Every structure is written in structure tokens, then in C-alpha cells.
């Protein structure tokens, strides 16, 4: 995966390059090594291990209109003020998508279990937020951001495929989105598809290893992820991702 040149670049250059790729192509797919530079963090570090470990304590999503029980999650909101470095968490609030953006689960206020304070204030999440913000600030200088954080675990069982995006190809209804792979265990499938308004066809890649990331312009880019099934049907599998959505406040 990756539509950026895989040369050795500094974080500053990578922020600029990623912003330019999104402006030109609608999205930027960063393999883990590049994402590590952008976020100033490594999946091998203790901070990331703690962060990834928190996916083991997500709670069931009780708002699945298809009756699915394969999705676990936690949610948090951040208010980022232009010119202020603080990545401040806002009071918990429901997640809302217009039905136009989510015909399956949109049109209602959905409350999810909150992200734990240790995770939202932890170094890994703060690094991811800061990196994504640096890129999106390039595309919308001076913006205040309403950021929603979603921790997702999609479970794959032999008798029930897990659907990372049960609503199908969609836009989230925000301005920009970061999706970062946190981990895949005993999982086949889960291929990300991208469609850009005004361009023919679909591009696809798999967020495979921890920190593989995609950043996209949600105003003109559609995304979806194919269902997952366990590689070894005798064992459960799961796919863990972090999603950060940025909307101009
Ligand atoms: Fe989405």
C-alpha cells in the first residue's frame, strides 16, 4: 500500500507531502513506517502497546440496525482551537450522522461507551491527533476542529462475518478522516476501497500492519471495507482500527 514516495523524509516534509497528496488525489495511504514518522511514534514502543491493548476493553455497539453483534467500540470528542496546541477532550456527547451519510445507522443520536481518560490523554493518541491535525491544518489553515475519536473492534466468527462498514461505501459526513490500523488477528478480508468523486473506478489496499494509515478528504472521497472472516475458522478473529474524524467547528 501507499501512494507516497517511500523515501526518507522528515516529519515536516511528510506533513507537507501528505497534505499535497490529499489535495491532489483525495487521500494519502501511509505504510506504517511513514505513519510512524508522521506521528512521531512507533508501534514497537510501550506507548503504542498500551494504546493497542486498550482495544481489548471496548464495549458492544448496541445501535446496529442490522442486528449485528460483531462490533465493539468506544468514542470521544475533542475540541481543537486554532493556534492552541492543546488537544483538549470535550464533554462526551452522542455520535450523530445524517441518514444521507449512513442509511443503516444514521438519523439517530448514538451514545457509545466513552474512551477511557488514560487512552485519550495517553501519548499514542495525542501523537496521532497531533499528526492528523498537522496534515489537515495544511488543507484548512486556521480551522477550529471538532474531532471525534472512534475505537473499533470488528469480530470475525466462523458463522458470522464481521462487517467493518455495514453501511457499505460511504462518506462519514465530516471534512477529513484518519483511519489507522491498530491490529488484525486471525483475519482474512478487510480490504479498504476508495472512490473519489469525479474519478472512474475504485482503488483498494489493505491496512495490514499496526499503524498503516489512510488520511482522506471526506467531502469527496468514499470509503468502505470488505467483510472479515477468521483465517482459522476454529478460532475467533478481530480487526482493530482507530478512526479520527475532523470537522470544521
Ligand atoms: Fe467511515
Q: How far is the centre of ligand 1, averaged over its atoms, from the C-alpha of 146 (Å)?
A: 16
What's the CA-to-centroid distance between 26 and ligand 1, angstroms? 15
Question: Within 13 A of 99's CA, how many CA atoms are on the CB side?
Answer: 4
Q: What distance in angstroms lies between residue 8's CA and the mean position of ligand 1's atoms? A: 30
**Chain segment 97-119, per-residue pLDDT in tens:** 998 888 888 889 999 999 999 99
Q: For ligand 1, an ion, list residues with CB under 5 A.
A: 172
Contact 216, 132 (CB under 8 A): no
Average pLDDT, the chain: 93
CA of 177 to the centre of ligand 1 (A): 8
The Cα 102–Cα 100 span in angstroms is 6
pLDDT digits (tens, 9 = 90+) for 106-156: 889 999 999 999 999 999 999 999 999 999 999 999 999 999 999 999 999
For residue 179, which phi and psi values (nearest 5 degrees)?
Answer: -120, 125
How close is the Cα of 176 to the center of ligand 1, in Å?
11
Query: In angstroms, what is the span from residue 43 Cα to ligand 1's centroid?
Result: 23
Number of helices (H) and strands (E), helices first, in the chain? 5, 15
**Residues 159-210 pLDDT 10s:** 888 999 998 999 999 999 999 999 999 999 999 999 999 999 999 999 999 9
In this prediction, residue 1 carries a pLDDT of 53
Q: Which residue segments constitute the domains of the chain, with CATH numbers given?
A: 11-248 (2.60.120.620)
32-67 residues labelled b (16+ CB within 10 A) or e (exposed): bebbbbbbebbbeeebbeebbebbeebebbebbeee
Q: Find the angle CA(17)-CA(125)-CA(94) to the nearest 5 degrees.
A: 105
Amino acid at each position: 500500500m501507499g501512494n507516497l514516495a517511500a523515501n526518507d523524509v522528515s516529519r515536516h516534509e511528510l506533513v507537507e507531502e501528505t497534505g499535497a497528496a490529499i489535495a491532489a488525489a483525495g487521500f494519502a495511504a501511509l505504510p506504517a513506517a511513514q505513519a510512524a514518522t508522521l506521528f512521531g511514534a512507533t508501534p514497537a514502543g510501550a506507548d503504542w502497546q498500551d494504546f493497542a491493548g486498550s482495544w481489548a476493553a471496548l464495549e458492544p455497539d448496541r445501535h446496529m440496525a442490522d442486528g449485528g453483534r460483531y462490533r465493539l467500540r468506544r468514542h470521544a470528542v475533542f475540541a481543537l482551537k486554532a493556534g492552541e496546541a492543546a488537544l483538549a477532550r470535550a464533554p462526551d456527547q452522542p455520535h450523530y450522522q445524517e441518514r444521507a451519510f449512513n442509511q443503516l445507522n444514521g438519523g439517530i443520536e448514538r451514545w457509545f461507551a466513552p474512551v477511557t481518560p488514560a487512552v485519550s490523554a495517553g501519548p499514542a493518541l495525542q501523537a496521532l491527533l497531533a499528526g492528523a491535525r498537522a496534515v489537515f491544518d495544511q488543507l484548512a489553515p486556521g480551522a477550529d476542529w471538532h474531532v471525534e475519536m472512534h475505537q473499533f473492534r470488528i469480530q470475525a466468527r466462523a458463522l458470522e462475518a464481521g462487517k467493518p462498514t455495514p453501511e457499505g461505501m460511504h462518506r462519514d459526513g465530516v471534512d477529513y478522516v484518519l483511519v489507522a490500523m491498530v491490529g488484525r488477528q486471525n483475519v482474512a478480508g478487510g480490504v479498504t476501497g476508495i472512490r473519489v468523486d469525479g474519478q472512474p473506478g475504485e482503488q483498494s489496499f489493505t491496512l495490514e500492519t499496526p499503524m498503516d494509515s489512510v488520511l482522506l478528504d471526506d467531502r469527496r472521497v468514499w470509503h468502505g471495507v470488505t467483510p472479515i472472516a477468521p483465517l482459522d475458522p476454529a478460532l475467533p478473529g478481530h480487526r482493530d482500527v482507530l478512526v479520527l474524524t475532523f470537522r470544521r467547528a
